[in-house]
């Protein structure tokens, strides 16, 4: 039987499914202190027990995104704030290559906010 987390990823449609599975593995590899939980009906990632980021699919753009909990403290042109007060998101186009350079820079800055 699948956990709610595994079920969430299994139910995604391609090409978003492969993209989200990659992002899941990428996030978990960033630090041994990052853990994954099923909270608020979505995959939530914690750094040392504190909310760090989450994965979801944008309703309007139909693209996966990483929601950054402390996004308001990060200034990067690829991030969208929309109507969120403290969080920002990074849209990922599943039909293109994952922007690893952008991800690496953002996660370095994100992890620095928790040090």
- Tens of pLDDT along the chain (115 residues)? 889 999 999 999 999 999 999 999 999 999 999 999 999 999 999 999 999 999 999 999 999 999 999 999 999 999 999 999 999 999 999 999 999 999 999 999 999 999 8
Predicted TM-score of the model (pTM):
0.94
The CATH code for residues 4-113 is 3.90.1150.200
* Residue 11: count of CB within 10 angstroms of its CB: 9
Report the DSSP beta bridge partners of residue 89: 67, 80
Token look-up 């979505």 returns: 42
Strands 88-91 and 79-80: antiparallel
Please give the Cα distance from 60 to 86 (Å, whole number).
20
Domain ranges of the chain: 4-113
């Amino acid at each position: 039987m699948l956990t709610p987390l595994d079920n969430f990823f299994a139910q995604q449609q391609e090409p978003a499914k492969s993209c989200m599975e990659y992002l899941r593995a990428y996030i978990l590899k960033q630090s041994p202190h990052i853990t994954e939980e099923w909270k608020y009906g979505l995959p939530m990632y914690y750094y040392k027990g504190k909310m760090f980021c989450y994965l979801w699919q944008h309703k309007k753009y139909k693209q996966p995104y990483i929601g950054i909990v402390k996004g308001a403290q990060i200034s990067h042109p690829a991030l969208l704030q929309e109507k969120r007060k403290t969080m920002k998101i990074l849209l990922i186009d599943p039909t293109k290559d994952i922007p690893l350079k952008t991800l690496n820079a953002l996660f370095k800055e994100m992890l620095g906010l928790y040090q």
